[in-house]
Chains A and B, each alone.
Chain A
Amino acid sequence: MTFSVNGSPIEKTPRPGQVLRTFLRDNEHFEVKKGCDTGDCGACSVLVDGTPVHSCVFPAYRADGREVTTVAGLGTPDNLSPVQQHFVNAAGFQCGFCTAGMVVTASTLEGHEVHDLPRMLKGNLCRCTGYRAIHDALAGVANVVGSSLPVESSDAEAVDESTGDGTTISATGAAGHAPSAPRGVPAPGAPGAGPVLHTQPHAHGGGTAVLERTLPTTTGIRSVGRSQKSPAGSRIVSGKEPYTLDIAVAGLLHLVVLRSPHAHARIVSIDAAAAEALPGVVAVFTHADVPKTLFSSARHENRTDDPDDTLILDVVVRFVGQRVAFVVAESVGIAEAACRLLDVQYEVLPANFDPARAREAGVPLVHADKDAAASRIADPSTNLVAEMRGEYGSIAEGLARADVTVTGTWQTQRISASALETHGTIGWLDADARLVLRTSSQVPFLVQKELSRILDVDIDRIRVYTARVGGGFGGKQEIQTEDLVALAVLKTGRPVQYEMTRTDELTVVPCRHPMRSTVTLGATADGRLTAIDLTMLSDTGAYGNHGPGTMFHACGESISIYNAPNKRVNAECVYTNNMPSGAFRGYGLGQVIFAVESAMDDLALALDIDPFELRRINAVRADDPLVVTHVEGDDLSFAGSYGLDQCFDLAESALRRTNGVAAPEGAVWKVGEGVAAAMIATIPPRGHFAEASVTLALDGVYDLNFGTAEFGNGTSTVHAQIAAETLGTSPELLRIRQSDTDAVPYDTGAFGSAGTVVAGRAVLAAATALAEKLRETAEVLTGVPADEWMLGPDGLRTHNRLLPLTEVAAAGAAAARAELDTVTSIAITEGVASAEAELAGITATGRHAGDHRSIAFNVQAFRVAVNTDTGEVRILQSVQAADAGFVMNPEQCRGQVEGGVAQGIGTSMYEEIIVDEGVVSTSVLRSYHLPQMADVPLTEVYFTSTADDLGPYGAKSMSESPFNPVAPALANAIRRAIGVRPYELPLSRDRVWRLLQPADAVTIEAVRLPAD
């Protein structure tokens, strides 16, 4: 058939059952994304003869003779359409994976439809932004600046700095940031403002010198603290930014996994003969064909953080959906057909799905075959993965001293991270027969390290890299696809792709750990806590990936945020035959904070003390020790940036002045306000390492290399801002290469909120060393002392003289060639860097070890109206105060907070993986409800005025933590509205309604239907 795409004719015939999405991608229109393949998420939206459709449910043959328009047909990076430009200007994306479909859909809206956006865009899901920025894009609001250079040379979309990053008025009419938000860059010398600079002895200056810097080091172009746009913006909105699977690879094989129908079974036999005989099948793998090395799919800096309880393919399957075998074939269809031909005989074993029963005698053991010490499982004979027990002071005494005690048990549900880009990997052998994996991962270096171990392949023989990743949220801190592709490539020698489906994401990719938390608080009549007692049970499912980590994290800052003389924690993480749990934004903390902050609200009610006041009375202060069950170690401190007091004040004052949104009329609507606080250490404990380099290349352009993957976290923007600030240039002038084990020596990875504060510091160190080296080179060239040179975007300046960057680079190369160069080294807080000239220019490499951690805070407040007839909850006002230290990029940081709140609202009200006897029924997005635009209210975001001693320029991390206080704040608001305490998430309409029914309400006979 013949059809055209973006004006170019294509003559090709699709397969009979093929959909337009895959047909377009077969024809290298990779701008058409896969999000769900069920017509729900809109990432694949295209126009067919001008009519917008979800191409994943559009039969390809129907495009015959028609004109298809993708996002790439609407405009190009150099010539964006107005809608595309608006998305760039508004920063209307984070990971950008939904953006292509969002832009295509938006391009069709006209007239009154732009006033009905929640309905018009209900078929376009964004997991990152919380939709405010998308709303802004469609309203033509500009939120970012395109360049740090003076206005005349900056991009057309640059907006006035005074409004560009601060006082945005969104389309829905409420103010965005706190009045205090737009702040200047800290003055040089202010806490956290910059590096401590000294140099090693060098050839030109002689001797050891600590530079007394009295002259400015740059021409004063400011990059940090501004709402700099994402470097990838124009490419993302025009579909030109390639994601993981957006490359054409000749001879590509496809991999399909056969999954277990049983929750617990021993594989007796697998007859693969028929599958192997199917034409087009290249390889079939069963448990007999894979290494017998136990590992964990979870990845951490320290691999011993997680139990080694997993095999690539196992002879025992422990949850419904576990890998049984996989097929590599010439097409997905052939591989699927071969999977259907695999004859697997199972011996079904008894299974347990109830974490509360996991440790009882006689309950099926999930990993009884493991050695406790070797696999680092606390007690395989009782399904215990990990436990935490400790007491500080005496709970008995604390409760005895209390005038009031409150207690309750709170249960959280399974949540899917559901990044819009599903997990996927393409692998091949490079010219040196080295294994290359292009993968959707937050941790390419850790994947490389672990694959080297599992496959027993030298680490230098494996390269792992990521293109832009379509969302992560912790879900990609896992090996889910790379091991299979690696095996397939090594066996076949051919390129292989494995792409997971949305149903895979919702049924087998690890979910948020469900936790049951019993909290008892005691307090004196004046509101002082005398005891905090926590008993927590976490269901890690069939495998222990992230099980210990989330358990410890859950019981950390949730308890140490409040001072109490007596504290106790009893926590267990247990195996069941449910789907595995894993990492997800907040990493356990949000689950226990839901319980603790709900209990704090009960305590405020019992004492008749304002809930803000009760928290102020008990909150840990800047000079207090941090105590869970003992005083926390020296690596954790407030680092001069304590901001909880400001968070309380900002949230409370916003709530007090209200946003003017009234409750619906009618006696059935009850109004309530709720608040919750959350504390988080800025990075993971026990080390997080990053290396970065900056090269002044011979063409006079800076090449910035760092290890951190970009998946909407915005750290690439921030890293570019840091480098530009240090080098006196503008972020968009940098060339960036990242998240590639070939590009920089090492980076632990983008998790634990470490992107800005760890890798950012490595970038800062490298750029600082390079700046110093460039001045030294200028001195060599001109005789003018190094510290009289200022760095600017086009070269080094002194007095009335300009030394172009190309000349400096050439001089460096010449010195290198003549072997006259020496290394310049500098040190910054916990970071070091050195610079030296090379034939290709001048390169500085910096590294940072996240040995010390600071603390960040978030306070969320809601005013809600609850319909007592239907259980409907309307959020009238949503406020979050965030203690991010110095805000590197206000628009991005605001987006991180809003996105966290949106995911928190999804968790609080809508999302739930429903599992029955191990079988997930919510296997598509029709039944697993990701928040739509209609579901997410505008959140007022306020930043504290704090500056951290550890983070670059005083910044703190702000990516996971905004999620954590949302559920309890909402629950507390509902409690105050209806007078009944919720104990279970999500606070769905039917659950809220049921809270209001008498305890003896008649239960009705009803059928339970599978999800559809």
Chain B
Amino acid sequence: MVSTCSVDLNTVTDVRLARSRADLSALGPTVAPFAGGSALFGEPQAHLTGLVDLMTFDWPALTVTADGLEIAATCTLAELSRLPDQLGWQAHHVFFECCTYLLGSFKVWNVATVGGNISASLPAGPMTSLTAGLDGIALVWRADGSDERMPVTEFVTGNKSNALTTGDILRSLTIPLASLQSRVASRKIALSPLGRSGLVLLGRRAPDDTFVLTVSGGTVRPIQLRYPARPDAARLRDDVLAIDAWFTDPHGAADWRRAVSTVLAEEIRQELA
């Protein structure tokens, strides 16, 4: 422990406002990208000397394409929570629900972004839960100028770790149309009624009957259980119990998380009957 830092990032001497991809060249070990800032400014960052503000890219927050929904990394939770319900997507309700799973208040929604939440890669990140649960695809802008797409379940690799390396940023998340047209049920539990998530489970039953359960919040990375059709209770329970990525932290003990996951999974299974 050195000194506990004040809220101002006093070591930061330069903030570059990104307007084009070339501006990302400033990124490096001591220069970090950020979007809303609610996570970055909420923690000491004494190793940083510079920042690159991604909000100034002015990417369109939400774009509906023939293939589904493209969510800019800089889309705020407030914008996402207001996603219009005009396209008949059965999964629509889960966007708002997952915003409520953020510990931060609705005022944090006004600045916190989808990409920022996923890039922080905390187990309790509800945007990770959401986009992983909907089989979202992350688009990464590599530092070398290349683009790379990967499932969110592969993007987040562990507690606070992900596929980004220095100089990379998360550009967008794409939710496939089939996911949006799926029936979806979500459950969240914390150690308090509206507390930081101890578990977030998303169940999805696709038009082709594919059943996907995504367990997050209580596992160091999102874990998916995938079935060609809705599994029976015993099978789902056994598979949840077989997950080996549980962890203990102040938001819940691993054994509790594991056991309660079976309860929530079964509730989801029944809701998606």
A residues neighboring B (CB under 8 Å)? 15-19, 21-22, 34, 37-40, 42, 45, 51-54, 56-59, 61-62, 105, 118-124, 256-261, 320-321, 331-333, 336-337, 339-340, 501, 503-504, 507, 869-872, 909-910, 912, 914, 921-922, 924, 926-929, 931-932, 934-935, 988-990, 993-994, 997, 1001, 1003-1012
CB distance from A333 to the nearest CB of B (A): 3
Nearest chain B residue, comparing its CB with the CB of A124: B105
Residues of A within 8 A of B260 (CB): 869-871, 993
Q: In the bound complex, do residue B111 and residue A921 qualify as a contact, i.e. CB atoms below 8 Å apart?
A: no
A to B CB contacts below 8 Å, 13 in the list:
A15-B8, A54-B105, A58-B111, A123-B105, A123-B106, A124-B105, A331-B10, A332-B10, A871-B256, A935-B192, A989-B191, A1008-B249, A1009-B249
Q: In the bound complex, do residue B108 and residue A51 qualify as a contact, i.e. CB atoms below 8 Å apart?
A: no
Among the 9-residue stretches B12-20, B61-69, B148-156, B229-237, the one with 4 or more Cβ atoms under 8 Å from chain A is B12-20
- Provide the B28-66 mask, 1 if CB < 8 A to any CB of A, else 0: 000000000111111101101011010100000000000
Complex CA distance for A380 and B108, rounded to whole angstroms:
50
Q: In the bound complex, do residue A105 and residue B256 qualify as a contact, i.e. CB atoms below 8 Å apart?
A: no
Contact pick for B254, options A340, A993, A1006, CB 8 Å: A1006
Tell me the interface secondary structure of chain B in the complex: loop
Does B225 interact with chain A (Cβ within 8 Å)? no
Residue of A57, A124, A332, A337 contacting most chain B CB atoms (<10 Å) = A57
Contact pick for B192, options A51, A926, A934, CB 8 Å: A934
Contact pick for A1004, options B10, B252, B255, CB 8 Å: B255
Residues of B within 8 A of A1011 (CB): 249-250
Residues 1-29 (chain B) with a chain A CB within 8 angstroms: 1-15
Q: In the bound complex, do residue B3 and residue A260 qualify as a contact, i.e. CB atoms below 8 Å apart?
A: no
Nearest chain A residue, comparing its CB with the CB of B106: A120
Complex CA distance for A929 and B196, rounded to whole angstroms:
9
- Provide the B156-188 mask, 1 if CB < 8 A to any CB of A, else 0: 000110000000000000000000000000000
Nearest chain B residue, comparing its CB with the CB of A21: B7
Nearest chain B residue, comparing its CB with the CB of A338: B3
Q: In the bound complex, do residue A339 and residue B42 qualify as a contact, i.e. CB atoms below 8 Å apart?
A: no
CB distance from B39 to the nearest CB of A (A): 8
Q: In the bound complex, do residue A333 and residue B8 qualify as a contact, i.e. CB atoms below 8 Å apart?
A: yes
Complex CA distance for A19 and B103, rounded to whole angstroms:
21
Tell me whether A53 and B107 are in contact in the complex, defined as CB-CB below 8 angstroms, given that A38-B42, A337-B10, A989-B256 are known contacts. yes
Does B195 interact with chain A (Cβ within 8 Å)? yes
Nearest chain A residue, comparing its CB with the CB of B108: A39
Q: In the bound complex, do residue B111 and residue A18 qualify as a contact, i.e. CB atoms below 8 Å apart?
A: no
Tell me whether A332 and B4 are in contact in the complex, defined as CB-CB below 8 angstroms, given that A45-B107, A990-B253, A1006-B254 are known contacts. no
Complex CA distance for A1001 and B105, rounded to whole angstroms:
38
Q: In the bound complex, do residue B248 and residue A1009 qualify as a contact, i.e. CB atoms below 8 Å apart?
A: yes
Q: In the bound complex, do residue B4 and residue A1006 qualify as a contact, i.e. CB atoms below 8 Å apart?
A: no
CB distance from B26 to the nearest CB of A (A): 13
Q: In the bound complex, do residue A321 and residue B1 qualify as a contact, i.e. CB atoms below 8 Å apart?
A: yes
CB distance from B23 to the nearest CB of A (A): 15
Complex CA distance for A929 and B41, rounded to whole angstroms:
20
Residues of A within 8 A of B3 (CB): 256-259, 336, 339-340
7 A-B pairs with the lowest CB-CB distances in the bound complex, closest first: A123-B105, A17-B9, A333-B10, A17-B12, A1006-B254, A990-B256, A37-B7
Q: In the bound complex, do residue A259 and residue B15 qualify as a contact, i.e. CB atoms below 8 Å apart?
A: no
Q: In the bound complex, do residue B191 and residue A259 qualify as a contact, i.e. CB atoms below 8 Å apart?
A: no
Nearest chain B residue, comparing its CB with the CB of A500: B4
Residue of B4, B247, B250, B253 contacting most chain A CB atoms (<10 Å) = B4
Complex CA distance for A321 and B46, rounded to whole angstroms:
18
B residues neighboring A (CB under 8 Å)? 1-15, 37-43, 45-46, 48, 50-51, 53, 55, 100, 103-108, 110-111, 122-124, 159-160, 189, 191-196, 198, 220, 244, 246-260, 263
Q: In the bound complex, do residue B4 and residue A259 qualify as a contact, i.e. CB atoms below 8 Å apart?
A: yes
CB distance from B217 to the nearest CB of A (A): 12
Residues of B within 8 A of A503 (CB): 4
Q: In the bound complex, do residue B252 and residue A16 qualify as a contact, i.e. CB atoms below 8 Å apart?
A: no
Residues of A within 8 A of B55 (CB): 62
Q: In the bound complex, do residue A935 and residue B51 qualify as a contact, i.e. CB atoms below 8 Å apart?
A: no
Q: In the bound complex, do residue A932 and residue B194 qualify as a contact, i.e. CB atoms below 8 Å apart?
A: yes
Complex CA distance for A17 and B46, rounded to whole angstroms:
11
CB distance from B151 to the nearest CB of A (A): 23
Nearest chain B residue, comparing its CB with the CB of A996: B259
Residues of A within 8 A of B189 (CB): 870, 872, 989
Given A54-B108, A57-B108, A990-B198, 11 further pairs, Cβ under 8 A: A17-B15, A39-B41, A59-B37, A119-B106, A123-B104, A336-B46, A910-B191, A989-B256, A994-B256, A1007-B248, A1009-B248
Contact pick for A53, options B5, B111, B253, CB 8 Å: B111
Q: In the bound complex, do residue A39 and residue B38 qualify as a contact, i.e. CB atoms below 8 Å apart?
A: yes
Q: In the bound complex, do residue B46 and residue A340 qualify as a contact, i.e. CB atoms below 8 Å apart?
A: yes
Tell me whether A119 and B263 are in contact in the complex, defined as CB-CB below 8 angstroms, given that A39-B38, A59-B15, A501-B4 are known contacts. no
Q: In the bound complex, do residue A261 and residue B159 qualify as a contact, i.e. CB atoms below 8 Å apart?
A: no
Tell me whether A56 and B41 are in contact in the complex, defined as CB-CB below 8 angstroms, given that A870-B189, A1012-B122 are known contacts. yes
Tell me whether A118 and B254 are in contact in the complex, defined as CB-CB below 8 angstroms, given that A869-B263, A1005-B244 are known contacts. no
CB distance from A462 to the nearest CB of B (A): 27
Q: In the bound complex, do residue A994 and residue B111 qualify as a contact, i.e. CB atoms below 8 Å apart?
A: no
Q: In the bound complex, do residue A59 and residue B192 qualify as a contact, i.e. CB atoms below 8 Å apart?
A: no
Q: In the bound complex, do residue B195 and residue A501 qualify as a contact, i.e. CB atoms below 8 Å apart?
A: no
Complex CA distance for A931 and B55, rounded to whole angstroms:
33
Residue of B41, B107, B192 contacting most chain A CB atoms (<10 Å) = B107
Residues of B within 8 A of A59 (CB): 15, 37, 41, 53
Residues of A within 8 A of B108 (CB): 39, 54, 57, 123
Q: In the bound complex, do residue A1007 and residue B220 qualify as a contact, i.e. CB atoms below 8 Å apart?
A: yes
Residues of B within 8 A of A337 (CB): 10-11
Q: In the bound complex, do residue B42 and residue A57 qualify as a contact, i.e. CB atoms below 8 Å apart?
A: yes
Q: In the bound complex, do residue A16 and residue B1 qualify as a contact, i.e. CB atoms below 8 Å apart?
A: no
CB distance from A467 to the nearest CB of B (A): 21
Q: In the bound complex, do residue B107 and residue A1009 qualify as a contact, i.e. CB atoms below 8 Å apart?
A: no
Complex CA distance for A17 and B11, rounded to whole angstroms:
7
Q: In the bound complex, do residue B51 and residue A17 qualify as a contact, i.e. CB atoms below 8 Å apart?
A: yes
Q: In the bound complex, do residue A122 and residue B1 qualify as a contact, i.e. CB atoms below 8 Å apart?
A: no
Tell me whether A1012 and B244 are in contact in the complex, defined as CB-CB below 8 angstroms, given that A17-B10, A53-B110, A332-B10 are known contacts. no
Tell me whether A56 and B7 are in contact in the complex, defined as CB-CB below 8 angstroms, given that A123-B104, A929-B192, A994-B255 are known contacts. yes
Complex CA distance for A469 and B187, rounded to whole angstroms:
41
Contact pick for A336, options B5, B103, B106, B259, CB 8 Å: B5
Complex CA distance for A931 and B15, rounded to whole angstroms:
36
Residues of B within 8 A of A62 (CB): 37, 55
Complex CA distance for A504 and B4, rounded to whole angstroms:
7
Residue of A54, A118, A320 contacting most chain B CB atoms (<10 Å) = A54
Q: In the bound complex, do residue A54 and residue B107 qualify as a contact, i.e. CB atoms below 8 Å apart?
A: yes
Residues of B within 8 A of A1009 (CB): 123, 159, 220, 247-249
CB distance from B22 to the nearest CB of A (A): 20
Complex CA distance for A256 and B198, rounded to whole angstroms:
35
Nearest chain B residue, comparing its CB with the CB of A104: B107
CB distance from B85 to the nearest CB of A (A): 16
Nearest chain B residue, comparing its CB with the CB of A339: B3
Complex CA distance for A333 and B258, rounded to whole angstroms:
44
Contact pick for B10, options A105, A336, A871, CB 8 Å: A336
Complex CA distance for A1012 and B120, rounded to whole angstroms:
11
Residue of A39, A121, A929 contacting most chain B CB atoms (<10 Å) = A39
Tell me whether A1006 and B7 are in contact in the complex, defined as CB-CB below 8 angstroms, given that A16-B13, A52-B107, A988-B191 are known contacts. no
Q: In the bound complex, do residue A332 and residue B220 qualify as a contact, i.e. CB atoms below 8 Å apart?
A: no
Q: In the bound complex, do residue B250 and residue A927 qualify as a contact, i.e. CB atoms below 8 Å apart?
A: yes
Nearest chain B residue, comparing its CB with the CB of A123: B105
CB distance from B267 to the nearest CB of A (A): 10
Q: In the bound complex, do residue A932 and residue B192 qualify as a contact, i.e. CB atoms below 8 Å apart?
A: yes
Residues of B within 8 A of A123 (CB): 104-108
CB distance from A488 to the nearest CB of B (A): 15
Residues of A within 8 A of B258 (CB): 1004
Residues of A within 8 A of B42 (CB): 37-39, 56-57, 924
Complex CA distance for A872 and B244, rounded to whole angstroms:
24
Residues of B within 8 A of A990 (CB): 191, 198, 252-253, 255-257
Residues of B within 8 A of A1012 (CB): 122, 124, 160, 249
